[in-house]
């Protein structure tokens, strides 16, 4: 049986080994898809898209530009920001809902492009919450002393799985990638930078509220599934909307409680960028004013698990949080899966 003394020592040691941010980076395709262009593709309007979602434009991959390309570009920028060579990366955790292939993982393909040949690499599948899941997993592995650093990437080519004849989904999503290199040794208990707390939760009973019915092992792609457009994302927008607000509110409160903080202690909230109305409802319920809310959905749309690391990189680059300030990040998406993290920068 583990003695109390041993437990205390181990907890203290763990408190000095939290993941902390050593560098961040983002990558988005050059091609901009505007609301005006979408007006010509489906029965929609710039006014509807802006008022119902907050999106003005999104980035879309060029032919031949893939998830691993975006991931490697974002990852490379995070490594440069940290001053770390690819060969010194220990672990790559990559979240995506749009893997380039079903086998092998996109993390493996990204590792090769990066030249991080010494690292272990694997994918995480938790839709829009995937990057926060990746961060929580990496933090645990760093604390367990399995690795010294971890490159956590969220990369999505949503344009590959979106039906551009379906106006209820095609206006919402965009492509992009964001990355953070986590180092171990964030001594948060003594005021150092790093992860103060993480939270993850899932409700698989609602899997079909947001899913791609065909293209996996249960319903392989055939000419019939393709003609019925079953390989593309289907979602029950209104139900997902309501659940997103409630789940991110609850998860935010849980993670704040774990960190021993209240919302007033947070300098900036970085919510998943799915819909401006979801973000505003969440902010109202949490009691967060516009000044403490990071929003970039107007420029990128919903980039699924890339949305939070893209935002985090912009926040760091624009010095929107003072040194030692804290951010609350929270996300929700297909699964249904959601999660949050509190990070001292
Ligand atoms: N342009 C014009 N009209 C449209 C469009 C469009 N692009 N899309 C839908 N409409 C119409 C509908 O057909 C409907 O018309 P009707 O009343 O005649 O039937 C009307 O607008 C209202 O439709 P709703 O679905 O009720 O619209 P809502 O206000 O709920 O907005 C939206 C839809 C934007 C999808 C919203 O529900 C939403 O954002 N949901 C959550 C999305 C989300 O967060 N997903 C999770 C993350 S994604 C991931 O995990 C990969």
Per-residue pLDDT of 244-262, as tens digits, reads 999 999 999 999 999 999 9
- Final residue belonging to a domain, choices 170, 189, 208: 189
Q: How confident is residue 307, by pLDDT bands cut at 50, 70 and 90?
A: very high
Q: How far is the CA of 138 from the centre of ligand 1 (A)?
A: 34
End residue of a domain, out of 158, 189, 220:
189
* pLDDT at 9 (0 to 100): 38
Cα gap 62→85, rounded to integer Å: 28
User: CA 19, 77, 112: angle at the middle one, nearest 5?
Assistant: 90
Taking alpha carbons only, the member of 313, 325, 4, 64 closest to residue 196 is 325
Rounded to whole angstroms, how far apart are CA atoms 86 and 133?
A: 23
Strands 120-124 and 91-95: parallel
Whether 1 shows a pLDDT value over 70: the answer reads no
- 99-118 pLDDT per residue, tens: 999 999 999 999 999 999 99
Per annotation, catalytic residue among 61, 128, 149, 170: 128
240/315 same-domain check? yes
Residue 186 binned pLDDT confidence (cut-offs 50, 70, 90):
confident
State yes or no: is 275 an active-site residue: no
Range of the domain at 256: 194-344
CA 240 to chain centre: 17
Q: Is residue 107 located within the same domain as residue 200?
A: no
Q: Say whether pLDDT at 337 is over 70.
A: yes
Looking at the structure, tell me whether residues 202 and 160 fall in a common domain.
no
**171 and 28 in a common domain:** yes
Residue 21 and residue 133 in one domain = yes
d(C-alpha 240, C-alpha 235), whole Å: 8
The verdict on 107 and 122 lying in the same domain is: yes
- Write down the catalytic residue from 35, 149, 170, 272: 272
Tokens of 275: 């819909």
d(C-alpha 273, C-alpha 308), whole Å: 8
Report the pLDDT value the prediction gives residue 7, as an integer from 0 to 100.
37
- Tell me which of 154, 168, 276 to substitute to probe ligand 1's pocket, judged by most ligand atoms within 8 Å of the beta carbon: 168
Same domain, 201 and 137: no
- What's the Cα-to-Cα distance from 63 to each of 104, 131, 317, rounded to whole Å? 21, 25, 29
CA gap 118, 92 in Å, rounded: 10
Q: Is 152 a residue whose pLDDT tops 60?
A: yes
Number of separate domains in the chain = 2
Tell me: do 311 and 279 sit in the same domain.
yes
For residues 282-297, average pLDDT: 97
Q: How far apart are CA 275 and CA 53, in angstroms?
A: 5
- Which residue shows structure tokens 């010494």? 118
CA–CA dist 223, 221 (Å, integer): 7
Asked if the model's pLDDT at residue 13 lies above 60, the reply is no
Residues 227, 322, single domain; the answer is yes
Q: pLDDT tier at 19 (50, 70, 90 boundaries)? A: confident
**What pLDDT shows up at residue 8?**
40
For residue 101, indicate whether it is catalytic.
Answer: no
**The predicted structure's pLDDT at residue 198:** 97
CATH number, domain at 316?
3.40.47.10
Q: Ligand 1: which of 40, 97, 241, 303 to mutate, judged by most atoms within 8 Å of the beta carbon?
A: 241
Angle at 181 between CA 176 and CA 184, to 5 degrees: 150
- The residue contributing the CA closest to ligand 1 atom 30 is 238
153, 215: one domain: no
The pTM (predicted TM-score) of the whole model is 0.94
302 is catalytic: yes
Q: Which helix (H) or strand (E) holds 205?
A: none
Backbone φ, ψ for residue 321 (5° rounding) = -125, 130
17 vs 235 pLDDT, higher one: 235
Domain boundary (160, 189, 218) is at: 189
Q: Are residues 205 and 171 in the same domain?
A: no
pLDDT value of position 14: 54
pLDDT band at 12 (very low <50, low <70, confident <90, very high): very low
pLDDT digits (tens, 9 = 90+) for 73-95: 999 999 999 999 999 999 999 99
Tell me, yes or no, whether 111 and 228 share the same domain: no
Q: How far is CA 271 from CA 206, 283, 302, in A?
A: 21, 9, 11
> In this predicted structure, what is the pLDDT of residue 192?
82
pLDDT for the residue numbered 187: 80
- Taking residues 8-34, what's their average pLDDT? 79
Place of tokens 């624009």: 318
């Amino acid at each position: 049986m583990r003695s109390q003394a041993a437990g205390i020592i181990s907890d203290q040691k763990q408190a000095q080994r939290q993941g902390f941010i050593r560098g961040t980076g983002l990558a988005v395709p050059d091609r901009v898809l505007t609301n005006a262009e979408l007006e010509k593709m489906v029965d929609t309007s710039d006014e509807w898209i802006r008022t119902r979602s907050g999106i003005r434009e999104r980035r879309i991959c060029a032919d031949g530009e893939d998830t691993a390309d975006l991931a490697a570009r974002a990852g490379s920028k995070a490594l440069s920001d940290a001053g770390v060579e690819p060969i010194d990366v220990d672990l790559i955790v990559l979240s995506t809902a749009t893997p380039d292939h079903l086998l092998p993982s996109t993390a493996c393909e990204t590792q090769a492009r990066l030249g991080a040949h010494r690292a272990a690499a694997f994918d995480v599948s938790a839709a829009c919450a995937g990057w926060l899941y990746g961060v929580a997993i990496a933090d645990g592995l760093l604390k367990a002393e399995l690795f010294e650093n971890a490159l956590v990437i969220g990369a999505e080519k949503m344009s590959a799985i979106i039906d551009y004849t379906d106006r209820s989904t095609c206006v919402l999503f965009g492509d992009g990638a964001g990355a953070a290199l986590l180092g171990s040794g964030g001594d948060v208990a003594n005021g150092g930078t790093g992860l103060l707390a993480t939270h993850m939760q899932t409700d698989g009973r609602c899997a079909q509220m947001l899913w791609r019915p065909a293209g996996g092992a249960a319903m392989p792609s055939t000419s019939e599934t393709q003609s019925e457009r079953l390989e593309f994302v289907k979602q029950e927008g209104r139900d997902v909307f309501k659940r997103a607000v409630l789940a991110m509110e609850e998860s935010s409160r849980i993670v704040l409680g774990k960190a021993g903080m209240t919302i007033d202690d947070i300098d900036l909230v970085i919510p998943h960028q799915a819909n401006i109305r979801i973000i505003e409802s969440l902010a109202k319920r949490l009691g967060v004013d516009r000044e403490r809310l990071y929003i970039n959905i107007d420029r990128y749309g919903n980039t699924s698990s890339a949305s939070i690391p893209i935002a985090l990189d912009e926040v760091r680059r624009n010095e929107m949080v003072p040194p030692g300030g804290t951010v609350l990040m929270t996300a929700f998406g297909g699964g249904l899966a959601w999660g949050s993290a509190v990070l001292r920068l």
